[in-house]
Structure 1
Amino acid sequence: MIVRTLSFPFRYAFAKLKKAVGKLGEIKIEPLYAFGNEDRIYVKARVLEAYKQSKPSAKKNSLQNILAALRRYAGSSVPDAKVEVFCLGQKKVVLSDDEGIIECEFDAETSMVKEKHRVGFSLVPESGLIPEKRKSYLDVKQFAKDHPIGVISDIDDTVLISHATDIGKKLWLSVSKNAYTRRPFPGVSEFYKELTDHGKHPVFYVSSSDWNLFDLIKDFLKYRNIPLGPILLQDLHLNLKNIWKSGGGDHLHKLEKIRMLLELYPGMKFYLIGDSGQHDPELYAQVIKECPGRIKSVYIRKVKKYGGERDQLLQELLKYDQSPEMVFVKSTQEAMQHAKEHSFISS
């Protein structure tokens, strides 16, 4: 993310220049998510210059994966592109931002929750922009406000082995592996299937990674047979402060996304899953403080030692009525055993 952030002014200026002189290649719209409740649907996508990316494979070597990573990060986002978004019989025209992101929301109807819907995206024709294909589509994930259970999970060092506390190891894994060769923690697929009752309940992935890793994360979850759900990553929002923080992203964005999910589904109680490597325990404790009774349990994978000061802080934050247990585990099997003992999943 550091290179992505520091190179932003050059990439933005270059994309604007190529658009002005008609030298942009074919443009593609990458749907990111479409989900909501009975009242509203949130939609997000990216507009970027189409680039030929080889499909991930377990047979790819490190050099091939490094070249694929370079292509992923070198791809030009397309700012100021007009996109028509269609959903539930409604149409909106949205302008992409500096990083090519478009987002909007649509009104929904209570009776539609059990029906299947799609959101469509279409590039508005203009000089210098040639669409790769006429329309792109994404299935809408719609859940009732009073749906009983949901799961909110971090990704790095929670689902995906990332070594996020070691910048060198994390960087090497990011560029030398692909979606098929990155490794999950043992037991994650089974645990998440049990918590979601094999797809009956939703799972939301909230991470400080940027949107360039969206395709890798999505393909990884599919390949490893881990329950799929909306993936909420971090927008760049360039400023001088986050240039120097860009190694792991601004983790407060995760807190904002969790608050949004709690507001969107006021009747839903959540399991929160994360790791101790960064700020998940503190963020989740803050959520418990703000929303008593909304969290069923918290599972934190221990990937980094923490001192008594942090433990004392967490104990203070958890001294509230209806506070759930924050369970620190070394393995997914420990978390599953705790969930069985408390009847969160069947034994």
Structure 2
Amino acid sequence: MSIARRVSARVPSPRTVLRTVGARSDQGRPHWAARLEDVKNSTVGRALRRMHWELRLQPFHGYGSSTRVRVLAKVLHSSPDTPADFHDQPVHDMRTMAVRGWRNFAGQVAPYSTVHVLLGDQEFIVRADRGGIVDAELDIDLPAGDHQAVLWTVPGNEVTADITVFPSDAAVGLVSDIDDTVMVTWLPRPLLAFWNAFVVHQSSRQVVPGMPMLYQRLARQHPGMPVMYLSTGAWNVFPVLKRFLYKNGYPDGALLLTDWGPTNTGFFRSGRAHKERALRRLVADFPGMRWVLVGDDGQHDPAIYADFASELPDHVEAILIRQLTESEQLLAHGTLRPLDQGHRGSHAPPRAMAAPDGHGLLAELERTGVIS
């Protein structure tokens, strides 16, 4: 059955909930660069509407508990000949995923658009933020497992978004960085966005040895383990990163990326602040969960994780840090040695382990008894 028919066939009177999202990080008067971006988005959006361009939704992988889920998507302007489900293709469709990379970077967002969400037998109305991002928490009772939400702005442009509801008895979850932790691109950090957007072949990226096996072992050790890929990468590269993880055998999970561009306080969002907020949000969403935190020593992951463990030790199962080579350190931040990884705590975080790759980290987990 088509998505449109599924929407029209929903229960006669679904519960409709109005939820406005995206205002948490955009309080107050925006920075002048953000105001300039708003003018650009408004001007270009009006021109595209006069050219009869339509709104299209790019769904992202959401997650949640049995009582609340987080739905993620992006609203874009698209030409009339773009299929309504262009952004709704299977992750294994290599041709479609390749095209989507550059189009998502070149696309024009549609700020503050109203989006309908049908999940289970309930319909919700949410709103995108000033960057066209839908980030909505919906109160709904769902069994553990994989679900699909149907999203649309107007009838006829429906897409589906994957939603993973974690088991209520899941005690351990995984949070993983992406760049230099699960994959290596061998390029300076400033070029990663361009690389991820325009270079589409599988050979363009290298898997960090042993990392897929490490994550698979953790998943077997903890059935139903929530998996989160937390990165400072932009939402624009979601399709390319999702394909990389799928093709290389990493456990499926939600990607928590960020919306690049001006904010209320400056030209760009803080990647470190993005990760710190995301970790605290996971604690709020899953207060009984302990997290295995995986990152690398090329940027600020050790300090971020150590601070988090010092503040909330009951929510940390282990900290795993992949040690970059001197060449990788040079590409990551311009020096041959790791960045200063000082943290606010007075003691080293518990169960903090480091190794050059997934094989070494797995050996450390087995040695310390975290994995049996």
- TM-score normalised by the shorter chain: which range applies? 0.7 to 0.9
- Which residue of the partner structure matches residue 309 of structure 2? 288
Q: Does 1:185 align with 2:185?
A: no
Q: Contact 1:286/1:317 (CA < 8 Å) preserved in 2?
A: yes
**1:39: how far off?**
2.3
Residues 319 and 239 of structure 1, relative CA distance in 2, 3 Å threshold: same
Which sections of structure 2, spanning at least 5 residues, go unmatched? 1-32, 330-335
- Give matches, 1:98-109, under 5 Å: 98-109=130-141
**2:42 pairs with 1:13:** yes
* 1:29 alignment partner, SS class: strand
What residue is the counterpart of 1:299 in the other structure? 320
* 2:282 is aligned with 1:261: yes
Conservation of the 8 A alpha-carbon contact between 2:175 and 2:293: yes
State whether structure 2 residue 231 is matched by structure 1 residue 201: no
- Cα distance, 1:100–1:171 mapped onto 2, change above 3 Å: closer
2:364 corresponds, among 338, 341, 346, to 338
Residue 184 of structure 2 aligns with which residue? 161
Change (3 A) 1:166 1:239: closer
Q: Distance in 2 between matches of 1:188 and 1:115?
A: 24
The alignment status of 1:79 with 2:111, answered yes or no, reads yes
Q: Pick one of 12, 35, 39 that aligns with 2:63.
A: 35
Q: Which runs of 4+ in 1 moved over 6 A?
A: 4-7, 51-57
1:231 to 255, 259, 270: 255
The 1-side partners of 2:307 and 2:55 are apart by 41
Aligned-partner Cα distance in 1 for 2:206–2:346: 33
Q: Normalising to structure 1: TM-score of the pair? A: 0.79
The answer to whether the 8 Å contact 1:269/1:296 transfers is yes
Q: How far 1:117 sits from its partner (Å)? A: 3.1
SS in 1 for 2:287: coil
Confirm whether residue 212 of structure 1 aligns to residue 233 of structure 2.
no
Cα pair 2:193 2:233 within 8 Å, conserved: no
Q: Which residue of 2 aligns with 1:152?
A: 175
Q: Deviations over 1:138-161 (max 9, x none)?
A: 232112454111100011111121
Give the aligned CA root-mean-square deviation in angstroms. Answer: 3.3
TM-score normalised over the length of structure 2: 0.75
The reply on whether 1:118 has 2:159 as its aligned counterpart is no
One-letter amino acid of the counterpart of residue 104, structure 2? R
Q: Is the 8 A contact 2:67 2:140 kept in 1?
A: yes
Alignment counterpart, residue 324 of structure 1, candidates 329, 335, 350? 350
Secondary structure class of the residue paired with 1:345: coil
- Counterpart amino acid of residue 25 in structure 1: W
Counterpart of 2:12 in structure 1 is none
**Matched residue of 2:123: which SS?**
strand
Q: What is the one-letter code of the residue matched to 1:334?
A: G
Structure 2 letter corresponding to 1:16 = G
Residue pair 2:229, 2:253 contacting (<8 A) in 1 also: yes
CA contact (8 A) 1:83 1:122 kept: yes
Alpha carbons 2:115, 2:152 under 8 Å: kept: yes
Inter-partner Cα distance in structure 1 for 2:301 and 2:52: 41
User: Percent sequence identity over matched residues?
Assistant: 25
2:193–2:237 CA contact under 8 A, matched in 1: no
User: What letter corresponds to residue 87 of structure 1 in structure 2?
Assistant: L
Pair 1:173 & 2:195 matched: yes
Cα offset for 1:80? 3.5
Equivalent residue pairs, number: 319
Distance change (3 Å), C-alpha of 1:5 and 1:183: farther
